[in-house]
Amino acid sequence: MNKYLFHVSGTHCNSCKILIENIIGKQPGVSKAVFDLGKQHLTVEGEISDSPETLVAAWSKLLGPHQYHLHLEKQKETKELKSVAYAIPLGLIILGLFFLLQRSGLMNFGFAEELSPWTAFLIGVIASLTTCLAVVGGLVLSLSAKISQEVSTTRPLVLFHTGRIIGFTILGGILGAVGEVIAINNTVMVILGITTSLIMIILGINLLDIFHITRRFQFALPRRLYDYLIKIEAGFFAPFIIGVATFFLPCGFTQSMQLAALSCGTSLRGAAIMGMFALGTFPMLALISFGSFRFARTKYAPLFFKTAGIVVIGFGLLSLLAGLAALGIIRPLFNI
């Protein structure tokens, strides 16, 4: 019976812990593999005849595709700190450009009185570049970055976008058919928006993960839930439903499109307006989500996650403050 201690870098969360334990635990001779997320130590016990050096070489090949790195010696964390140093200015620049685009007035044009599906498409494009980017884009960025850390296929992202476009079309059709019967109360929408912004801030801090503070306090993902997450890779439902649910995400453009769909009278027209609007938001949101996925698999992954963390926290704070102002709790601090 021997016992070995390894140092692992590149881990983000409790799912990584379970994944590493699963992979190493299955190796020949290994009877027990325990990973300590706080210390980033992997303790392996079993009847192992190979030398630690051979094990590192062999197991690195197994962990490499997941962006984990196995070492015998403790690695200095300068690399991670350096990526934070780059991420802060990068995140600030992205936020600054976003504000500048809003303030420039380039995006404040009106549209023809009669709303055609083609206009709805254009409004969708603009929505995905302006105020909606702060809410929907921020949420898509944080979820995609999080998903990219957990699973290894783009399937959930594809399903998310499919769900969003199909969901918008069908729900738009329903709105067109029932007409002015339903109206979603704005206070409910604002509270939904504040909840969304809080989720964004938490996910953002999680992505930023300086000094692994959140890692230590992170709620341990139960194994059953982890198995469920693994199923998401092959699964269909969860990402699709989240995509459909973005219909109810508060964003001024979506709300006024819903109003247009409500008042247009026929379900076909309602479906066309909402569907085209969702299609219009697709290019930007696809860029965000598939871009995250791609970056997560390069050597720039730590930098990307941390920059995304800063941008998401910025957008989260922005919509949180705006939401509080809309409820009359605080004075409006800014006008986008």
The site for other proteins (CB under 8 A) is made up of 82, 85-86, 88-97, 99-100, 102-105, 107-113, 115, 123, 126-127, 130-131, 134-135, 183, 185-187, 189-190, 193, 250-253, 255-257, 259-260, 318-319, 321-328, 331-332, 334-336
Q: Which is nearer to other proteins, 96 or 222 (CB)?
A: 96
30-36 sheet: strands from edge to edge? 30-36, 41-46, 2-9, 69-71
Helix (H), strand (E) counts: the chain? 14, 4
Q: Which is nearer to other proteins, 90 or 232 (CB)?
A: 90
Least distance between other proteins and beta carbon 93 (Å): 4
CA distance 114 to 126: 18
CA distance 168 to 204: 27
- Cα 57 from chain centroid? 33
Q: Which is nearer to other proteins, 11 or 197 (CB)?
A: 197
Q: Which is nearer to other proteins, 49 or 185 (CB)?
A: 185
Least distance between other proteins and beta carbon 126 (Å): 8
Least distance between other proteins and beta carbon 46 (Å): 43
CA distance 272 to 257: 11
How many other β-carbons are positioned within 10 Å of the β-carbon of residue 322?
23
Beta bridge mates, 3: 45
Residue 52 identity (one-letter amino acid): P
Least distance between other proteins and beta carbon 113 (Å): 5
What is the secondary structure of 256-296 as a DSSP string?
HHHHHHHHT--HHHHHHHHHHHHHHHHHHHHHHHHHHHHHT
Least distance between other proteins and beta carbon 108 (Å): 3
Q: Which is nearer to other proteins, 176 or 250 (CB)?
A: 250
Cβ(113)–Cβ(336) under 8 Å?
A: no
Least distance between other proteins and beta carbon 129 (Å): 12
Cβ(226)–Cβ(329) under 8 Å?
A: no
DSSP 8-state secondary structure symbol assigned to residue 298: S
CA distance 301 to 312: 16
Least distance between other proteins and beta carbon 109 (Å): 7
Q: Which is nearer to other proteins, 126 or 301 (CB)?
A: 126
Q: Which is nearer to other proteins, 224 or 331 (CB)?
A: 331
Least distance between other proteins and beta carbon 292 (Å): 20
CA distance 63 to 55: 12
CA distance 302 to 174: 43
Q: Which is nearer to other proteins, 211 or 334 (CB)?
A: 334
Residue position matching structure tokens 């809080």: 198
